[in-house]
Amino acid sequence: MEATGKFRMKKSRLHPATRLLGWLALLVAVQCLSGAALPAACLAVPLTGKRILRRSGRLVWQARWLLISLTLVFAWGIAGEPLWHGAPAPTRQGLEEAAKHLGRLWLVLVTVAALLETMPLADLLAALRTLFAPARRLGIDPDRGAVRLMLALRYVETLPRPRDWKSLLEIPETGVCETVDIDRRDLRRIDGLVMAALLGGLAWICFR
């Protein structure tokens, strides 16, 4: 028996394109974190909720070899004070640099997981269509570009594991038709103000 009492999240007043631009601004801001701000941001990650933590954990596991490679490159590739004498040892400066980059990369994966968990597919397509709209002047169809990007993201997320590489050679099923509806929403004044603030913040971060 299905429960009748359900909690409904209040729909955001902001356009999906505004929220997506805010997510992109957050990605750029994460790359600039350093000092005490970086560990503070990492300690705040559990506050994002179980769903986002679970999804970000899967992303971290998929990127584990990249994380290990970065650790080895920075720990043994940066000159500095060795942790011990004798056998080849990582340097203290290298480990500090590795921790900084790993922390930033982890925050990026958490931010991606938050986007995928909190923005429905319909909102994501509407956001991409709006952001791609200026490309129409170049002869590019924003609807087609949004759908292709969505299919690429879906393919990456469902990519088989390395030991299942033979499944990549299987012939996909044909005759399957999927309909994608792209919501057409207009930007409001509040969206323009927020976008202007986000673009100004991005310019300040990139050119300061």
Q: Which of 17-26, 70-79, 126-135 has the lowest mean pLDDT?
A: 126-135
> What is the model's pLDDT at position 175?
47
Interval 116-171: pLDDT, tens? 888 887 788 878 778 777 777 777 776 676 777 666 666 655 555 555 545 445 54
Q: Which residue has the tokens 């603030």?
A: 197
Predicted confidence (pLDDT) at residue 110 exceeds the cutoff of 70: yes
Bridge partner list, 91: 82
Is 73 inside a domain boundary?
yes
> What is the model's pLDDT at position 5?
40
- C-beta neighbour count of 156 within 10 angstroms: 9
Kindly list the distances between the CA atom of residue 70 and the CA atoms of 45, 95, 104, 161, 172, in Å, as whole numbers in the listed order: 21, 10, 12, 21, 35
Torsions phi, psi for 111 (to 5 deg): -65, -40
Position 106 confidence tier, pLDDT thresholds 50, 70, 90: very high
CA distance 85 to 156: 44
Position 174 confidence tier, pLDDT thresholds 50, 70, 90: very low
157 vs 197, residue with greater confidence: 197
Q: What angle do CA 53, 58, 59 make, to 5 degrees?
A: 95
Is 30 inside a domain boundary?
yes
Range of the domain at 35: 16-160+180-207
Is 151 inside a domain boundary?
yes
How many domains would you assign to the chain? 1
Q: Do 142 and 136 touch, CB atoms closer than 8 A?
A: yes
Q: What angle do CA 112, 44, 99 make, to 5 degrees?
A: 75
pTM (predicted TM-score): 0.70
Is 92 inside a domain boundary?
yes
CA distance 15 to 12: 8
CA distance 191 to 137: 22
Beta-carbon contacts of 73 under 8 Å, excluding residues fewer than 6 positions away, are 98
Is 187 inside a domain boundary?
yes
Is 22 inside a domain boundary?
yes
Q: What is the mean pLDDT of residues 84-96?
A: 83
Closest-CA residue to 93 (of 84, 85, 105, 81): 81
Is 126 inside a domain boundary?
yes
Is 3 inside a domain boundary?
no
